Amino acid sequence: MAIRRHRHSRFRTPALVAVAALLWLAASVPSGFGIVQIAVFAGPGMVLALAISWTSYANARRDWDWRHGLRAIGLGAAFFPPFVGLFFAWSGSFGSEVLVTLLVYSAWMALLCGFLLAMLNRARAT
């Protein structure tokens, strides 16, 4: 089985690594968390990214394979933790009682955005 290479893949990977490194550094400054403390959120990021990858192929299950899953896991581990750190830094400025409310609203917004993206993908496919 041959692996398809994208035309600009040799530039894409270093660019993604650079953006991820900048996000990790940017998240550690305002949140006050260290890199190790932010890395705790890599596990949930990997699980969420794998679930997103798998469900994005719900209409074409035979097209999904573990290469898609591994790519998603890597992206989830690299990009999810800094966003969580930045979210805690931003929401913490409102007070601890608002933090829980924002976490609940964020979960509902994630579901709504996923549903809207699925509808757009479905409409584009037809």
Measure CA 95 to chain center: 25
Q: Token pair of 26, please? A: 């940017």
Q: Token pair of 79, please? A: 């990009």
- Only one residue has tokens 């690594």, namely 17
Structural contact between residues 10 and 37, judged by C-beta atoms closer than 8 angstroms: no
pLDDT, one tens digit per residue, over 34-45 is 889 999 999 988
DSSP class of residue 63?
Answer: G
Is residue 79's pLDDT more than 60? yes
pLDDT, one tens digit per residue, over 83-124 is 888 888 888 888 878 888 887 888 788 778 777 877 887 788
Domain ranges of the chain: 13-125
The model carries a pTM of: 0.70
Q: Token pair of 74, please? A: 């890597």
Residue 69 exposed, middle or buried by CB count within 10 Å (0-12, 13-18, 19+): middle
DSSP class of residue 2?
Answer: P
